[in-house]
Amino acid sequence: MAGSPSARVAVAGATGLVGRALLARLAVDARVGPVTALVRRPGGLPAAVQPLVVDWTRPGLDATLPSIDWAFCALGTTIKVAGSQAAFRAVDVDAVLAFAAAARAAGANRFGLVSAMGADARSSVFYNRCKGEVEQALTAQDWPRLVIARPSLLLGERTALGQPQRPAEALAQRLMPAVGWLIPKALRPISADAVATALAEAVAAPGEPLQILPSDALQALAECSLKR
């Protein structure tokens, strides 16, 4: 919005697939001012991004955020990488909520979360249940603007980030050009860039206190944003 001050932003999970795409998107957004990225170690970030080193294995957030207006959370792991359900929960639930609490204390009034398709606090599937519990907890915090992205299978180049390529994602990368059109839009794999673009746009825009974006809505919003 012309004449409005630039939003001060913090991003957690900035070195992951969606987090990297978010940083790239925010860097060229005229509505965004200084960006702070919460990372495990400094280095490897765009020059304009200020790193804030945190230890996600410790309870709470062991660092103080600068004053911010918007917060984005793309934290996430897998049970295989984490090593156990408890370690997975420490990242995908505890660390997310610790970041949200710190962001609210630092003045943030808008929060964008990368969740997952199938998120449900009552699910019998552990992964979906954790995602749903986080959504439920954030919603209870009464954010003035909370945007929850629920992408389907993410597409992107993980090896460039030093992450192992996930088998299902690698298969989807190969098959999408040929058979992607056969898959319903709500279930179709989606690029990390599209998720980042849509989430950044939704958080920046005025709207209801809670907005949940399923995968097809994310894709549509990203395509609309890129046409402008």
Residue 60: pLDDT band with limits 50, 70, 90: confident
Residue 220: pLDDT band with limits 50, 70, 90: very high
pLDDT at 79 over 50: yes
d(CA 25, CA 146): 19
3 state DSSP class of 227 = helix
pLDDT at 92 over 70: yes
d(CA 102, CA 81): 26
Residue 2: pLDDT band with limits 50, 70, 90: very low
d(CA 60, CA 57): 9
Cα angle value 129/80/152 (rounded, 5°)? 50
Q: What average pLDDT does this structure show over 10-15?
A: 95
3 state DSSP class of 155 = strand
Instruction: Centre a 10 Å sphere on the Cβ of residue 211 and count the other Cβ atoms it contains.
Output: 16
pLDDT at 225: 81
3 state DSSP class of 106 = coil
With beta carbons less than 8 A apart as the criterion, state whether 165 and 159 touch: yes
Q: What average pLDDT does this structure show over 47-61?
A: 88
- Cα-only R_g, the chain: 17
Overall size of the chain counted in residues: 228
Q: Give burial (CB, 10 Å; 0-12/13-18/19+) of 70.
A: buried
What is the value of pTM for the model shown?
0.87
- pLDDT tens figures, 131-187: 999 999 999 999 999 999 999 989 877 455 555 555 655 554 555 555 554 566 777
d(CA 46, CA 20): 10
H-type helices in 155-214, by residue range?
A: 167-179, 192-204
Residues linked to residue 155 through DSSP beta bridges, in sequence order: 191
pLDDT at 1: 43
